[in-house]
């Protein structure tokens, strides 16, 4: 699998960002004409591979709308986002007004720019919704939130070769064709009840869906299309991925917690169906 010489960081802060394990992914991701990602996330793998074309989907409609606006408008959209990264915008009262606006506005372009603002000003860069689909991440209290202008430009350039769609994983995987390579980065199976970050979109991602994904990977492999899945290394995932042709296990440092004592190593795996 071809990869870029220099790594490119995603412009979004993201729980489970794959930037730190790109070396492991590169070592297992097969070659192909198009990379298909049913769980777009921050786009770390998309940004750091060299396929001819890309198809990225996600169940989070707000995330996909953001990528589409950046793809379509480029510099003009980046400039609009930059206006939200000034000292007057970095206070608790302003943040909660913008969060209320995000949850109520029907202006999808404005909502996309607010997504970038809240991603960098919200607590720990979390993207979290309640059961009613309301974004509920609290204010992060950062001294000077970083505006990812350079990273957004890099994403815009790469997006010239991509299509972004709001679609669930099962529907997207039903569309793959010969020449595709599928990389799946689902919300991880939680290691404990206090480390469950599956509510990045309304509806979450439960264990039956995890099992369904594993079964779809096997079905897709039988059609001659390789699938690579990343997840925590747990009893559940080892059993779910037992049909994989190759499983790589490794430890990775996680930084989603603000408490330094909780930033410990997690055991992860990559399951390849080929």
State the pTM of this model.
0.90
Tell me what the mean pLDDT of segment 44-62 comes to. Answer: 97
Tell me the C-alpha to C-alpha distance, in Å, between residue 20 and each of 25, 107, 118: 10, 35, 23
Instruction: Please list, in sequence order, all residues whose beta carbon lies within 8 angstroms of the beta carbon of residue 197, skipping any fewer than 6 positions away.
Output: 15, 16, 126, 128, 187, 188, 190, 256
On the question of pLDDT at 18 being above 50, the answer is yes
Cα separation, 249 vs 259, in Å, equals: 26
CATH fold group of domain 4-59+167-273:
Rossmann fold (3.40.50)
Instruction: Name the residue among 179, 267, 187, 184 with its Cα closest to residue 218.
Output: 184
Domain spans, the chain: 4-59+167-273, 67-150
The string of pLDDT tens digits covering residues 173-191 is 999 999 999 999 999 998 8
Instruction: Kindly indicate the confidence band of residue 15, based on its pLDDT and cuts at 50, 70 and 90.
Output: confident
Instruction: Kindly indicate the confidence band of residue 159, based on its pLDDT and cuts at 50, 70 and 90.
Output: very high
The string of pLDDT tens digits covering residues 227-269 is 999 999 999 999 999 999 999 999 987 654 445 455 567 899 9
The string of pLDDT tens digits covering residues 78-103 is 999 999 999 999 999 999 999 999 99
Cα separation, 25 vs 39, in Å, equals: 15
> What residue has token string 């409609």?
61
On the question of pLDDT at 192 being above 90, the answer is no
Instruction: Kindly indicate the confidence band of residue 1, based on its pLDDT and cuts at 50, 70 and 90.
Output: low
Confidence (pLDDT) at 5? 54
Cα separation, 10 vs 4, in Å, equals: 14
On the question of pLDDT at 108 being above 50, the answer is yes
On the question of pLDDT at 4 being above 60, the answer is no
Architecture of domain 67-150: Orthogonal Bundle (1.10)
On the question of pLDDT at 224 being above 90, the answer is yes
On the question of pLDDT at 272 being above 70, the answer is yes
Residue 219: what are its φ and ψ, rounded to 5°?
A: -65, -40
Residue 242: what are its φ and ψ, rounded to 5°?
A: -65, -20
């Amino acid at each position: 699998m071809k990869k870029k010489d220099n790594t490119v960081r995603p412009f979004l802060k993201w729980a489970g960002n794959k930037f730190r394990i790109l070396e492991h992914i590169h070592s297992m991701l097969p070659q192909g004409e198009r990379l298909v990602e049913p769980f777009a996330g921050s786009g770390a793998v998309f940004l750091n591979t060299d396929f001819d074309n890309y198809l990225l989907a996600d169940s989070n409609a707000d995330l996909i709308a953001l990528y589409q606006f950046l793809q379509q408008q480029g510099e003009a959209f980046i400039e609009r986002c930059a206006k939200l990264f000034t000292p007057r915008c970095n206070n608790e009262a302003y943040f909660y007004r913008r969060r209320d606006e995000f949850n109520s506005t029907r202006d999808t372009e404005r909502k996309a720019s607010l997504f970038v603002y809240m991603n960098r000003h919200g607590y720990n860069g979390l993207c979290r919704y309640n059961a009613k689909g309301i974004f509920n991440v609290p204010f992060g209290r950062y001294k000077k939130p970083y505006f990812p202008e350079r990273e957004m430009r890099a994403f815009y350039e790469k997006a010239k070769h991509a299509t972004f769609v709001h679609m669930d994983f099962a529907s997207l995987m039903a569309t793959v064709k010969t020449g595709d390579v599928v990389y799946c980065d689902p919300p991880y199976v939680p290691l404990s009840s206090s480390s469950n970050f599956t509510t990045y979109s309304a509806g979450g991602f439960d264990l039956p869906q995890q099992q369904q994904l594993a079964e779809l990977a096997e079905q897709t492999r039988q059609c001659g299309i390789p699938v690579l899945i990343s997840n925590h290394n747990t009893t559940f995932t080892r059993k779910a991925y037992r049909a994989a042709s190759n499983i790589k296990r490794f430890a990775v440092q996680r930084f989603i917690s603000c408490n330094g004592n909780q930033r410990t190593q997690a055991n992860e795996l990559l399951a390849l169906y080929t």
